[in-house]
Amino acid sequence: MLVLLAGIFVVHIATVIMLFVSTIANVWMVGSSNYATISTGLWLLCNRTCTQLPVSSEDEASLKAVQAFMILSIIFSVVALVLFIIQLFTLEKGKRFYMTGAVMLVCWMCILIAVSIYTARFTHTVAFAANPHHGYCFILAWICFCFSFIIGILYLVLRKK
């Protein structure tokens, strides 16, 4: 049981770290130009230097929603981690980690909404670039989506022994 708890804890910490990286780094879409590689993220457009991400007025609300839901997913994931540690020491034997699982599933839903909006609105839109493709931050966000779902379900099923 201790090994299972340690494994879930390690995967949860890895998920939090990957959520931070995928939200902060600006490599959601990557393309090439005549001069260099161009990458865009949630915040900046990086060529040789990084500048403010140029977004049309019709896509601005979508980008703000993606940014907000990714930040919310980080917050909920950290809250779930703290809640797990608190429940680990205060929960009675035989009880389940319902609150931790519920908060982690809310994190999962925030990641789903953010990455789905980004996929629908911003895929293949790298300004002045040819051959755009997804960067590692986009892939990390989908990996965090899978991990947060698995962790949330495991917390709901897991009993303290």
Q: Is the pLDDT of residue 127 over 70?
A: no
CA angle 84, 7, 70 (to 5 degrees): 60
- pLDDT tens digits for 70-104? 999 999 999 999 999 999 888 888 788 899 999 99
pLDDT confidence band for 125 (50 / 70 / 90):
low
Report whether pLDDT(159) > 90.
no
Q: How far apart are CA 73 and CA 47, in angstroms?
A: 28
